[in-house]
């Protein structure tokens, strides 16, 4: 059973701080990793994707991937109250089988940025 684990939170950080969100996954063959942001009552919005070990930066967001440890994280620098949302980690196994079409989602971490 493929699993993606996240701390449910809530994670509270003060405005301007760095928020660190973590995710572990069980399938060692996983190849593609995604972070979605979901505001209350809205649909998930893709904010970052990462496919190789290391860091990937996009504005205030940095995704970090360590396949050996089966660990992916999202850092949000200079956190703003508008970043308050639930962040979903999603993993795709890749390859050519049925699993290659599917994403497995974690249950999400709720982030609250305090002004």
Partner 1 sequence: NAGVTQTPKFQVLKTGQSMTLQCAQDMNHNSMYWYRQDPGMGLRLIYYSASEGTTDKGEVPNGYNVSRLNKREFSLRLESAAPSQTSVYFCASRSLNYAPSYEQYFGPGTRLTVT
Tokens 């505001």 locate to 39
Residue 40 CB, shortest distance to partner 1, in Å, is 11
Binding site for partner 1 (CB under 8 A): 31-32, 34, 36, 42-46, 49, 51, 88, 90, 92, 94, 98, 100-103, 105-108
Q: Which is nearer to partner 1, 4 or 79 (CB)?
A: 4
d(CA 109, CA 104): 15
* 21, 106 Cβ separation under 8 angstroms: no
Cα–Cα separations (whole angstroms), residue 17 to 32, 61, 75: 28, 13, 10
Residue 27 CB, shortest distance to partner 1, in Å, is 14
Q: Which is nearer to partner 1, 17 or 32 (CB)?
A: 32
Q: In 3D, which of 73, 71, 62, 56 has the Cα closest to residue 21?
A: 73
Residue 44 CB, shortest distance to partner 1, in Å, is 5
Q: Which is nearer to partner 1, 30 or 62 (CB)?
A: 30
Residue 41 CB, shortest distance to partner 1, in Å, is 9
Q: Which is nearer to partner 1, 25 or 36 (CB)?
A: 36
d(CA 27, CA 47): 22
* 106, 8 Cβ separation under 8 angstroms: no
């Amino acid at each position: 059973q493929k699993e993606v684990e996240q701390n449910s939170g809530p994670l509270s950080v003060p405005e301007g701080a760095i928020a660190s969100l973590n995710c572990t996954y069980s399938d060692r063959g996983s190849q593609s990793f995604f972070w979605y942001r979901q505001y209350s009552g809205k649909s998930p919005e893709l904010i970052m994707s990462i496919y190789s070990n290391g860091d990937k930066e996009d504005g205030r967001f940095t995704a970090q991937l360590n396949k050996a440890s089966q660990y992916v994280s999202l850092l949000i620098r200079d956190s703003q109250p508008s970043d308050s949302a639930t962040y979903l980690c999603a993993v795709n196994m890749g390859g050519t089988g049925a699993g290659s079409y599917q994403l497995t989602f974690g249950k999400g971490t709720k982030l609250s940025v305090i002004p």
